[in-house]
Chains A and B, each alone.
Chain A
Amino acid sequence: MGWLLEARDITKSFSGIRVLNGVSLTVQSGEVHALVGENGAGKSTLMKILAGLHAPDSGALLLDGQPVHFRNAHAALKAGIAMISQELMPFPHLTVAENVFMGQEPVSSFGWINRPALKRQTEELLAQLGVSLSPASRMRDLRVSEMQTVEILKALAHRAKLIIMDEPTSALSDREAEALFRILQDLRQRGTAVIYISHKLEEVFRLADRVTVLRDGGLVATQDLADTTPEMLITLMVGRSLNPRSLPTPQRTGQPSLSVCGLGKTGRFENVSFDVHPGEILGIAGLMGAGRTDVLNAIYGLHPADAGEIRVEDHPVTVAKPRDALRAGIGLVSEDRKQFGFVPWLGVKQNMTLASLRRWCHLGRIDHDAENRAVEDQVQAFGIRSAGNDQPVVRLSGGNQQKVVLARSLLAEPKILLLDEPTRGIDIAAKAEVHELIARLAETGKAIVLVSSELPELLSLSHRLLVLSEGRLTAELDPQRTSQEEILKFAMPR
Chain B
Amino acid sequence: MPPAPAHSTPAKSTRAWNHWFARFGLAFALLVVGATLALLQPQFLTAANLLNVARQISINGILAVGVTYVLLTGGVDLSLGSLVALTGVVAATFAHPGDWPVIVPITVGVLCGAACGAVNGLVITQGRIAPFIVTLGMMTAARGLALVVSHGRPVSNLSEPFVALGGNVAGFPVQILVLLAIAGVSGLFLANTRPGRYLYAVGGNEEASRAAGLNVPAIKTFAYTVSGALAGLAGVLLAARITTGQPNAGVAYELDAIAAAVIGGTSLSGGVGGIAGTLLGALLMGVINNGLDLLNVSSYYQQIIKGVIIIGAVWLDRRQRN
**Which A residues are closer than 8 A to B by beta carbons?**
13, 16, 300, 302, 321-323, 325-327, 332, 334, 339-346, 350, 354-355, 357-358, 361, 364-366, 368, 408, 412
Residue picked from B205, B207, B271, most chain A C-beta under 10 Å: B205
Complexed CA–CA distance, A366 and B189 (Å): 10
**When the two chains form their complex, are residues A343 and B1 in contact, meaning their CB atoms are under 8 A apart?**
no
Complexed CA–CA distance, A344 and B206 (Å): 11
A16 to chain B, nearest CB (A): 5
User: Is residue B200 within 8 Å, beta carbon to beta carbon, of the partner chain?
Assistant: yes
Choose one: A16, A341, A364, A366; the contact of B208 (CB below 8 Å).
A341
Chain A residues positioned under 8 Å from B214 (CB to CB)? 323, 354
**Which B residues are closer than 8 A to A by beta carbons?**
1, 192-194, 197-198, 200-201, 204-205, 207-215, 271-272
A392 to chain B, nearest CB (A): 9
Q: A343-B204, A344-B205 are in contact. Are A322 and B212 (CB under 8 A)?
A: yes
**When the two chains form their complex, are residues A340 and B193 in contact, meaning their CB atoms are under 8 A apart?**
no
Interface of B is mostly: helix
**When the two chains form their complex, are residues A345 and B201 in contact, meaning their CB atoms are under 8 A apart?**
no
Complexed CA–CA distance, A327 and B213 (Å): 9
B29 to chain A, nearest CB (A): 22
**When the two chains form their complex, are residues A339 and B194 in contact, meaning their CB atoms are under 8 A apart?**
no
Complexed CA–CA distance, A302 and B207 (Å): 9
**When the two chains form their complex, are residues B212 and A354 in contact, meaning their CB atoms are under 8 A apart?**
yes
**CB<8 Å pairs between A and B, sample of 19:** A322-B212, A326-B213, A327-B213, A332-B211, A340-B207, A342-B208, A343-B201, A343-B204, A343-B205, A345-B204, A350-B197, A357-B194, A361-B193, A364-B193, A364-B194, A365-B192, A366-B193, A366-B194, A412-B213
**When the two chains form their complex, are residues B204 and A346 in contact, meaning their CB atoms are under 8 A apart?**
yes
Beyond known contacts A364-B193, A408-B212: 6 more, CB 8 A cutoff: A322-B210, A339-B208, A343-B209, A344-B204, A365-B192, A366-B197
**When the two chains form their complex, are residues A342 and B194 in contact, meaning their CB atoms are under 8 A apart?**
no
**When the two chains form their complex, are residues B194 and A358 in contact, meaning their CB atoms are under 8 A apart?**
yes
Residue picked from A321, A332, A368, most chain B C-beta under 10 Å: A321
B267 to chain A, nearest CB (A): 8
Chain A residues positioned under 8 Å from B201 (CB to CB)? 343, 346, 350, 354
Chain B residues positioned under 8 Å from A300 (CB to CB)? 211
Residue picked from B197, B201, B212, B213, most chain A C-beta under 10 Å: B212
Chain A residues positioned under 8 Å from B198 (CB to CB)? 357
Chain A residues positioned under 8 Å from B271 (CB to CB)? 343-346
**When the two chains form their complex, are residues A343 and B197 in contact, meaning their CB atoms are under 8 A apart?**
no
A369 to chain B, nearest CB (A): 12
Chain A residues positioned under 8 Å from B215 (CB to CB)? 323
Q: A340-B207, A344-B205 are in contact. Are A355 and B197 (CB under 8 A)?
A: no
Complexed CA–CA distance, A300 and B210 (Å): 11
Complexed CA–CA distance, A193 and B213 (Å): 51
B153 to chain A, nearest CB (A): 44
**When the two chains form their complex, are residues B192 and A340 in contact, meaning their CB atoms are under 8 A apart?**
no
A397 to chain B, nearest CB (A): 11
Residue picked from A323, A368, A408, most chain B C-beta under 10 Å: A323
Chain B residues positioned under 8 Å from A341 (CB to CB)? 208, 211
Choose one: B1, B193, B209, B272; the contact of A354 (CB below 8 Å).
B209
**When the two chains form their complex, are residues B1 and A16 in contact, meaning their CB atoms are under 8 A apart?**
yes
Q: A357-B194, A364-B193 are in contact. Are A350 and B208 (CB under 8 A)?
A: no
Chain A residues positioned under 8 Å from B194 (CB to CB)? 357-358, 361, 364, 366
**When the two chains form their complex, are residues B210 and A342 in contact, meaning their CB atoms are under 8 A apart?**
no
B172 to chain A, nearest CB (A): 29
Q: Which A-chain residue is minimally distant from B267 (CB atoms)?
A: A345
**When the two chains form their complex, are residues A322 and B208 in contact, meaning their CB atoms are under 8 A apart?**
no
Chain A residues positioned under 8 Å from B209 (CB to CB)? 343, 354
Q: Which A-chain residue is minimally distant from B193 (CB atoms)?
A: A364
Chain A residues positioned under 8 Å from B204 (CB to CB)? 343-346
B74 to chain A, nearest CB (A): 11
Chain B residues positioned under 8 Å from A357 (CB to CB)? 194, 197-198
Chain A residues positioned under 8 Å from B205 (CB to CB)? 339, 342-344
Choose one: B192, B193, B200, B213; the contact of A322 (CB below 8 Å).
B213
Complexed CA–CA distance, A219 and B144 (Å): 70
Q: Which B-chain residue is minimally distant from A302 (CB atoms)?
A: B211
B140 to chain A, nearest CB (A): 32
Chain A residues positioned under 8 Å from B208 (CB to CB)? 339-343, 354
**When the two chains form their complex, are residues B1 and A13 in contact, meaning their CB atoms are under 8 A apart?**
yes
**When the two chains form their complex, are residues B272 and A345 in contact, meaning their CB atoms are under 8 A apart?**
yes
A-B CB proximity, top 7 nearest: A343-B204, A355-B212, A326-B213, A343-B205, A340-B211, A354-B212, A323-B213
Complexed CA–CA distance, A341 and B209 (Å): 9
Chain A residues positioned under 8 Å from B213 (CB to CB)? 322-323, 325-327, 355, 412
**When the two chains form their complex, are residues B207 and A339 in contact, meaning their CB atoms are under 8 A apart?**
yes
**When the two chains form their complex, are residues A365 and B211 in contact, meaning their CB atoms are under 8 A apart?**
no
B239 to chain A, nearest CB (A): 33
Chain B residues positioned under 8 Å from A323 (CB to CB)? 213-215
**When the two chains form their complex, are residues A365 and B193 in contact, meaning their CB atoms are under 8 A apart?**
yes
B77 to chain A, nearest CB (A): 21
Complexed CA–CA distance, A341 and B208 (Å): 5
Q: Which B-chain residue is minimally distant from A354 (CB atoms)?
A: B212
A40 to chain B, nearest CB (A): 19
**When the two chains form their complex, are residues B193 and A350 in contact, meaning their CB atoms are under 8 A apart?**
no
**When the two chains form their complex, are residues A346 and B212 in contact, meaning their CB atoms are under 8 A apart?**
no
Q: Which B-chain residue is minimally distant from A13 (CB atoms)?
A: B1
Complexed CA–CA distance, A365 and B190 (Å): 10
Complexed CA–CA distance, A357 and B209 (Å): 12
Chain A residues positioned under 8 Å from B193 (CB to CB)? 361, 364-366
Q: Which B-chain residue is minimally distant from A15 (CB atoms)?
A: B1
**When the two chains form their complex, are residues A350 and B200 in contact, meaning their CB atoms are under 8 A apart?**
yes
B98 to chain A, nearest CB (A): 40
Complexed CA–CA distance, A342 and B197 (Å): 14
**When the two chains form their complex, are residues A321 and B210 in contact, meaning their CB atoms are under 8 A apart?**
yes
Complexed CA–CA distance, A345 and B212 (Å): 16
Chain B residues positioned under 8 Å from A342 (CB to CB)? 205, 208
Chain B residues positioned under 8 Å from A332 (CB to CB)? 211
Chain B residues positioned under 8 Å from A365 (CB to CB)? 192-193
**When the two chains form their complex, are residues A334 and B197 in contact, meaning their CB atoms are under 8 A apart?**
no
Complexed CA–CA distance, A302 and B212 (Å): 10
Chain B residues positioned under 8 Å from A355 (CB to CB)? 212-213
A319 to chain B, nearest CB (A): 12
Q: A322-B213, A354-B212, A355-B213 are in contact. Are A343 and B200 (CB under 8 A)?
A: yes
Chain B residues positioned under 8 Å from A340 (CB to CB)? 207-208, 211
Chain B residues positioned under 8 Å from A325 (CB to CB)? 213
Complexed CA–CA distance, A344 and B204 (Å): 6
Chain A residues positioned under 8 Å from B207 (CB to CB)? 339-340
A425 to chain B, nearest CB (A): 15
A393 to chain B, nearest CB (A): 10
B213 to chain A, nearest CB (A): 4
